[in-house]
Chains A and B, each alone.
Chain A
């Protein structure tokens, strides 16, 4: 009797056997997860979504005081608030995407243990809900930015690379997602890594020109090489350059970031896929 089966469960799937159609079929679930994240995150708080604004403001104020006033790190003549806010908003999106996706398996073991859906939906939804938060924060940045533009501040000069903004955001999301899913795949078996996460992200921030401009690092120095090797550098610097006119922009850097992200994402998806099959036995 010949029957064509709709589903075949077998021990091993091919590494690249990723069912994009299935993920597409579950798009409603993705939007429900996003909705859940957004409506539940600030439940039982008095200020609610205002926290979306307060977080970057508070961080920015701290940076202004510590790095700007006490450590007196240059901002290339850009008003401190804009400089730090730009860095913080951009960085926050990455760290949010990384942090939340890096917990995919451990935090959802409960759901994953009970029902099947394409597991990638979960980290994807985190990246999308992070995007909403980012959208609110960048709106806030734009308001502050508009104030400086209107008040005729000469140091703030936007330019044509502003058109690249969506590309920056996309690559940023990819980097966060890619590193997050690799991380979560590794932590299902070796929990030790979770302890490194917070520390690692912090360290990574200092290796990215968030609180300092790339221009303060001497040309040709080892340090500069290191920072340029960080795929986040072209994004954060490019973002600042686009809006503020001060910063570093190069097509090569952007291309490097994009390629890096592509490879990272592919590796991530393959590892994630391998892990999702059996993680429930080890978690």
Chain B
């Protein structure tokens, strides 16, 4: 059996909500008085409830970003950590990389650990590529002689040999990222912690980066903790997966089943009010205005529905509010797979229709749904003039399920194995 290389026990982290400023001194004093003089427990630690972001934050309340995490990572294992925004992934990473310390619990680590929360930390734009390699390398804990030894490899991997003595400010952003990743990839720690760095760089480089990480884990038998929203990267890299939700570790198993679990857990129970799904708490981020008010998905009988047979009629209706100031804005309704692939989208800027007034509704009508069976989510956005700034955006407004059926009456169903969409035409033999 492989050795345990990271052992996390009862790890919790409590944050204080609201402004840190007025009142903290008195809180500090109270806390100090109760803990050190009266010998009581931390009076503020108890307030930490489950980190449910849909509830409004009470000012000064303490919230547990992580709660009683217990986790063991074995040597040579590649563990993917997935979860929604705010589930506690970054907090966990920060604690593991010792950027911040936990409120309770311990983490025991065997071997040298390097974390990549960002590539190119400490890069100074005025310094040359070479100087920055040394700068960044030493920040990550390398010794100068180690970098001397690996300099050529790093330069080759990043593909910046020609510009080695040019200040980094003259580099393109892609080159800077490549250089940063190249340094990190040559750190050779026993444990590597990676946070979505793959989201940057061009496709070719991403492939190279994933390849390098695979090398690190498979061939050199190192341990990798990988945090990502990119399910396909998690699928291809990781053997095991852990799902975080509201600061708690809710599931740990093989990567594939963890991804399934994540996808299923992320379809939140939709909140129906008067037959509509309320969008008040659906936003992950706030933009200029809260325009999308509520939404419903209707079937051909005009009743709300979440499960649609393949090739059936579907109508998505979104009610708007606060649109008065944004008369000529563009709206987009899109349908995405649960792991974020865009299946299709329809937007007002695709059609040259003049917009004159403040509208009340956006409607997307699909006479015949042709997506392969599975779960999909609805994405809504409102932008200024087809591109650029968002006025409002909801990544995951609601979701629905497409059921497989036997469209050709042949006794065989069209399933997701048959492809993403069912074709308009059909094969025939001549």
| A residues adjacent to B (C-beta < 8 A) | 1, 3-11, 25-26, 28-29, 31-32, 35-36, 39-40, 43-44, 111-117, 189-191, 277-278, 280-282
Contacts of B126 in A (CB 8 A): 39-40, 43-44
Which single member of B24, B100, B110, B117 contacts A115 (CB below 8 Å)? B117
Q: How far is the CA of A281 from the CA of B63 in the complex (A)?
A: 13
A281 CB, nearest partner CB in chain B, Å: 6
| B residues adjacent to A (C-beta < 8 A) | 3-4, 7, 15, 20-21, 24-25, 94-113, 115, 117-118, 121-122, 124, 126-127, 131, 134-135, 138-144
Q: How far is the CA of A28 from the CA of B122 in the complex (A)?
A: 14
Contacts of A7 in B (CB 8 A): 108-110, 113
Q: How far is the CA of A82 from the CA of B141 in the complex (A)?
A: 45
A40-B127, A114-B121, A189-B24 known; A9 and B101 CB under 8 Å? yes
Contacts of A281 in B (CB 8 A): 15, 100
Q: How far is the CA of A166 from the CA of B142 in the complex (A)?
A: 32
Which single member of A1, A11, A111 contacts B104 (CB below 8 Å)? A11
Q: Is the CB of B103 within 8 A of A11?
A: yes
A26-B138, A36-B127 known; A115 and B144 CB under 8 Å? no
Q: Is the CB of A36 within 8 A of B135?
A: yes
Q: Is the CB of B107 within 8 A of A29?
A: no
Contacts of A29 in B (CB 8 A): 138-139
Q: Is the CB of A28 within 8 A of B143?
A: yes
Q: How far is the CA of A35 from the CA of B135 in the complex (A)?
A: 9
Q: Is the CB of B24 within 8 A of A10?
A: no
A28-B144, A40-B126, A117-B139 known; A8 and B109 CB under 8 Å? yes
Q: How far is the CA of A25 from the CA of B97 in the complex (A)?
A: 18
A8-B107, A28-B144, A36-B135 known; A3 and B4 CB under 8 Å? yes
Query: What are 23 sample pairs from A and B whose C-beta atoms fall under 8 A apart?
Result: A1-B3, A1-B4, A5-B7, A6-B109, A6-B111, A7-B108, A9-B95, A9-B96, A9-B98, A9-B109, A10-B105, A11-B105, A29-B138, A40-B127, A111-B139, A112-B99, A115-B99, A115-B117, A115-B122, A116-B98, A189-B24, A190-B24, A280-B99
Q: Is the CB of A282 within 8 A of B20?
A: yes
Q: Is the CB of B101 within 8 A of A11?
A: yes
